[in-house]
Amino acid sequence: MNYPNGKKGTIAKYARNKQSATPNQAFSNRGMTLEEDINETNRYYLETNKAIIHKKPTPVQIVKVNYPKRSAAVITEAYFKQASTTDYNGLYRNKYIDFEAKETKNKTLFPLANIHEHQLTHMHSIIDHGGICFLLIRFTFYQETYLLPAEKLFKHWDDKLKGGRKSIPYEQICLEGYKIPFQYQARIDYLAIIDKLYF
């Protein structure tokens, strides 16, 4: 079986690799970025046939390419074709899933400047069409990851536009969001939260 990252693998091979890892080895990877943890989780979902969720490619317009060797090309100038929407999308239990992932080193709040207006517009469209949309936020200082439903994010964004806070306090995210415990296989098992919220 071939996967989007070009690697071959099977469920049996994945299970063997996981069985050989000790708990200490699995938790030693906690220093990884949120994106790496999500990508590993999505790989596990795909290999166990739980869901099909991928990182969206960023559309880039290549302008200049140098060919230092006949067999190699080096891109020397490129531009983003358009503003990106959100980081990940896919299918789970016949539902469209779409979400953005953000990390912050801030101990007390999540700055709304980390989200762009075109991303909020996109999230609104997903909700309007019956999809599931959310934000995954990692507070790196605490090594805690939270799922914040898009509807909760909209309220804070609207408040900001009316002259309110330009951030969401950490305590508020703890109250309104859903903490995702770190695990051995599905490191950031956000679908377990989705199951509780939507199914």
Question: 125: which 2 tokens?
Answer: 């469209």
- Whether the predicted pLDDT of 2 surpasses 60: no
pLDDT of residue 85: 85
Q: Which amino acid is at 28?
A: S
Cα 81 versus chain centre, distance: 21
Cite the annotated binding site for Mg(2+) by residue number. 85, 87, 100, 119
pLDDT of residue 17: 41
82-141, pLDDT tens digit by residue? 567 899 999 999 999 999 999 999 999 999 999 999 999 999 999 999 999 999 999 999
pLDDT of residue 109: 97
Q: In whole angstroms, give the CA distance from residue 60 to residue 80.
A: 4
Cite the annotated binding site by residue number. 85, 87, 100, 119
pLDDT of residue 78: 63
Nearest CA-CA partner of 87 in 29, 26, 128, 42: 42
In which element (H, E) is residue 179 found?
A: strand 178-179
| 178-179 vs 95-104, strand pairing mode | unpaired
Domain boundaries 14-52+84-198, corresponding CATH code: 3.40.1350.10
Domain ranges within the chain, ordered by starting residue: 14-52+84-198
49-67, pLDDT tens digit by residue? 999 999 987 666 677 778 8
- CA 15 vs CA 45, 97, 109: distances in Å: 13, 26, 38
| Strands annotated E in 40-165 | 52-55, 60-69, 72-80, 88-92, 95-104, 109-111, 132-139, 144-149
- Whether the predicted pLDDT of 29 surpasses 90: no
142-189, pLDDT tens digit by residue? 999 999 999 999 999 999 999 999 999 999 999 999 999 999 889 999
- Whether the predicted pLDDT of 19 surpasses 90: no
